[in-house]
Structure 1
Amino acid sequence: MTNLKHKTLLSLIYSAGLRIGEATNIKIKDIDSKRMLIHIKNAKGKKDRYTLLSSSFLELLRDYYKTYKPENYLFEGHNKQQYSSSSAQKILKNAAKKIGLKKRITLHTLRHSFATHLLENGTDIRYIQELLGHNSPKTTMIYTHVSETTIRKIKNPFDNI
């Protein structure tokens, strides 16, 4: 992607496992670079939570901030208003089209990918549940499509007998 704002927005959604509404609601003060956390306020179910702030993403975010100088919301559209979800969806659709991606992708796909990649890297499902803001681990399991490769790496306990 060549547009810095678009790249930063999509990177945020993936790197923090956010819903689109959560990403567009983030304010500058919600980014805690000292603790490397992002405070998600008033998420689904009117709950607050913290999620991860990637150090790689933080570099991109700093470039974005210097260039766009947002005043209130991290991502602002016309007249410094909150960026719209539909604009974000168009960004992803255009990016997918540009690279010739045939598979249907949505912004929520990025959230699914975040959860799946954490699980594949060995993160406990309870931590993923917390990062995604789910009440039930059953909800989290929907997001974690475990790959065959990961399943094949599991050592069967019978082999230790």
Structure 2
Amino acid sequence: MNKNQKNIPGSHVTPLSTEQLKVINSFEDYLRRTRYSESTIKTYCDSLYQFLKFCGEKPLALLSNSDLHDFNTQYIIAKKLSASYQNQVLNAVKLFCKVQLGTQLNPELVKRPRRAKPLPNVLSQLEVKNIIESPKNTKHRMMLTLIYACGLRRSELLNLIPTDIQSNRKILLIRNSKGKKDRIVPISEALITLLRNYYKEYRPMKWLFEGQVRGVQYSAKSLESVLKQALQKAKIGKPVTLHWLRHSYATHLLERGTDLRYIQELLGHSSTKTTEIYTHVSTRSIQEIRSPFDDL
């Protein structure tokens, strides 16, 4: 096996040609040089891998849009994979074509699937309270609390360092989040007290939340496990994810009358259109509507 092949997901099943492996590794190097996030690098390389694997050993110079259409029909649709995965592949191939010259591919001409527009999943404040109070472990409780209290993404929580908590200004600094942007969110005196108590108990060395070994960042997998255990203890049967806590934070702010523009800033959204989706799940105005049934 090629020494580089071990880093390509699925390569142990159907090895790619030497040429294909080289271009994937070159593409990965490009993504890393241009400072794409590790999750995006993995996503794009996995997508490109699956596409090239589907095309067999066909020379890159001969790849065309018909190959992309066939991959879409015979792989994505045939396997009933999601529209988001289809878009993910197109994004990866589109960027790859900009970097890798000499192909006949033009993903711009490939029609994208219509995006589904599901509403965000939102918990009641009582459900959130039960979830974050379920863990007996201080660290576990603090992590879940901070995600909800500040509307954090999972990666944003795990990348926090102790100095990101600026208690004198009552703000939390979120560095280099999605889109390579920094932002600040307010933290209350009650939350600062909880954070101080947590810090005194664990004395983190580098990251605010560390695993069993000091100085080693808490893992995403372990954090998912913390939530799963909290849901079991709280007797909540819904398929709750960590992102539900972020959705609930935004929706509860909206229901309390917070301006949508402020919520956009707190969540780190680039466009108000992304934030506007919470207006569809907020019950603040809906509950004021009287059904004509009530007048019968």
Q: Determine the C-alpha separation between the residues in 1 that align with 2:239 and 2:173.
A: 30
Higher relative contact order (CA 8 A, sep 6+): 1
Q: Determine the C-alpha separation between the residues in 2 that align with 1:32 and 1:147.
A: 31
> Which residue in the other structure is 1:46 paired with?
180
Contact 2:255 2:283 in 1 (8 A): no
Query: What is the aligned-residue identity percentage?
Result: 54
Correspondence 1:71 to 2:176: no
Give the counterpart of 1:101 among 208, 228, 236.
Answer: 236
Give the counterpart of 2:270 among 99, 111, 135.
Answer: 135
Secondary structure class of the residue paired with 2:269: coil
1:33–1:14 distance in 2 versus 1, CA, 3 Å: same
Correspondence 1:34 to 2:130: no
Q: Larger C-alpha radius of gyration, 1 or 2?
A: 2
Aligned runs of 1:6-17 on 2, under 5 Å?
A: 6-17=140-151
Correspondence 1:62 to 2:212: no
Aligned length: 154
Q: Determine the C-alpha separation between the residues in 2 that align with 1:64 and 1:89.
A: 20
Q: Determine the C-alpha separation between the residues in 2 that align with 1:142 and 1:86.
A: 28
Normalising by structure 1, we get a TM-score of 0.90
- Note the alpha carbon deviations across 1:34-55, whole angstroms, 9 max, x for none: 1111110010011111112122
What amino acid maps onto 2:161 in structure 1?
K
Structure 1's consecutive aligned runs of 4 or more residues displaced over 4 angstroms after TM superposition are: none
Structure 1: unaligned runs, 5 residues or longer: 155-161
Contact 1:92 1:107 in 2 (8 A): yes
Structure 2: unaligned runs, 5 residues or longer: 1-134, 290-296
Contact 2:171 2:186 in 1 (8 A): yes
Report the Cα offset of residue 103 of structure 1.
Answer: 0.9
> Which residue in the other structure is 1:82 paired with?
217
Contact 1:116 1:145 in 2 (8 A): no
Contact 1:10 1:92 in 2 (8 A): yes
> Which residue in the other structure is 1:117 paired with?
252
Contact 1:19 1:108 in 2 (8 A): yes
> Which residue in the other structure is 2:39 paired with?
none
> Which residue in the other structure is 2:158 paired with?
24
Q: Determine the C-alpha separation between the residues in 1 that align with 2:282 and 2:197.
A: 35
Mean alpha-carbon deviation: is it higher for 117-126 or for 80-89?
80-89
Report the Cα offset of residue 146 of structure 1.
Answer: 3.3
What amino acid maps onto 2:152 in structure 1?
L
Mean alpha-carbon deviation: is it higher for 97-106 or for 7-16?
97-106
Report the Cα offset of residue 145 of structure 1.
Answer: 4.5
User: RMSD of the alignment, in Å?
Assistant: 1.5
- Note the alpha carbon deviations across 1:7-57, whole angstroms, 9 max, x for none: 000000000000010001000111111111111001001111111212222
Contact 1:18 1:132 in 2 (8 A): yes
Secondary structure class of the residue paired with 1:29: helix
What amino acid maps onto 1:39 in structure 2?
L
